[in-house]
Amino acid sequence: MGPAVQRTQRTARQTKKTWHLLRHLLDPDDSKTAARHRLKRLVHQHPGSDEDLLIELADKYINQAHQPATPLPPYEGKPNPTLDADITEAEVYAAILKLRTTSAPGPDGVSNKTIRNLDARSVTALTEYFNDCWHAGNIPEEWKHAKIVFIPKPGKKADLSNLRPISLTSCLGKLFEHVVLARLETLAEEQDLFPPTMLGFRAHLSTQDALVQIYHDLLKDPVRAGTRAMLGIDLRKAFDNVTHEAIAQHLASTNPWGTYLQLRVLFPPRPYCGNLSLIDSNATKRLRPIQTKARHR
């Protein structure tokens, strides 16, 4: 490793530490350490046992009601050799470079930092394994399990009603999903499937684009003089209420062929399972299999 690269890495580490320090000085209560302390106090102030608290959290946040799995509709589109091609090492490398090394690992303990440090031979072997999963239409059971942890919502009182459940799944499984997602995003952009007003979850678009759009629609050359208003709508639990069946139905119209069949594996009729656990406690609650809906990236 050359001196220039070492200096760049050292500067990046120093910049990261400086930014964390600045954020802490601006809002000491918004740090991860402060959030962890609030969660500890919440656990210790609960009148029941740790097991009782886990049961209460599961009932409040996790839908454990038994729901019969609905099989995804059969594919009726045309073949798509571009999407169905073998996964390449270049695709895997591209997905690896986008991994956040600060993300927590899933139940298997494999972290993104470990994946980022894989050598060339390991990436080749991993690509071959991804292709085995791709063509067989099957993924490891470990990728279907999650560890569910809770973080306090920022700016809210420490209360059981102000927690956000986070599902920690396998980083290897998420890497595989990112490879598939990159293909689908390319397809969507090339076919202009996204409306021009959709700015979220798209490459090279950000909040600045939304502000520019608001400026042109409301402020620049207004059609009428006088007061203008903008209405914003926030759908509650929008992602949680999108079913796999709805995603598959709309995806089939883009002729993804084998990719669609692979998504039947990523959206399995067999529900995901998970464990609830608390910090500073040996108590762990095994959840009954739960039928998940849309999953965050």
Whether the pLDDT of residue 294 is over 50: the answer is: no
Candidates 265, 273, 267, 266; CA nearest to 290 is 273
Q: How far apart are the first and last CA of the chain?
A: 33
Q: Which of 75-84, 135-144, 166-175, 251-260 has the highest mean pLDDT?
A: 166-175
- Comparing CA positions, the residue from 270, 247, 240 lying closest to residue 145 is 270
Q: How far apart are CA 152 and CA 157, in angstroms?
A: 8
Tokens of 227: 């007061």
pTM metric for this prediction:
0.74
Predicted confidence band of residue 290 (pLDDT cuts 50, 70, 90): very low
The burial class, CB within 10 Å (0-12 / 13-18 / 19+), for 259 is buried
Q: Let me know: does 167 contact 146? Beta carbons within 8 Å.
A: yes
Q: Which of 138, 171, 75, 157 is nearest to 265 (CA)?
A: 138
Q: Domain-by-domain residue ranges, the chain?
A: 46-219+231-286
What's the pLDDT score for residue 121?
96
Q: Tens digit of pLDDT for each residue in 45-70?
A: 888 887 787 788 878 777 654 455 56
pLDDT in tens, 241-257: 777 777 777 777 777 76
Ranges of H-type helices in the chain: 3-26, 32-45, 50-61, 81-84, 89-97, 112-116, 120-136, 171-190, 207-214, 244-252, 258-266
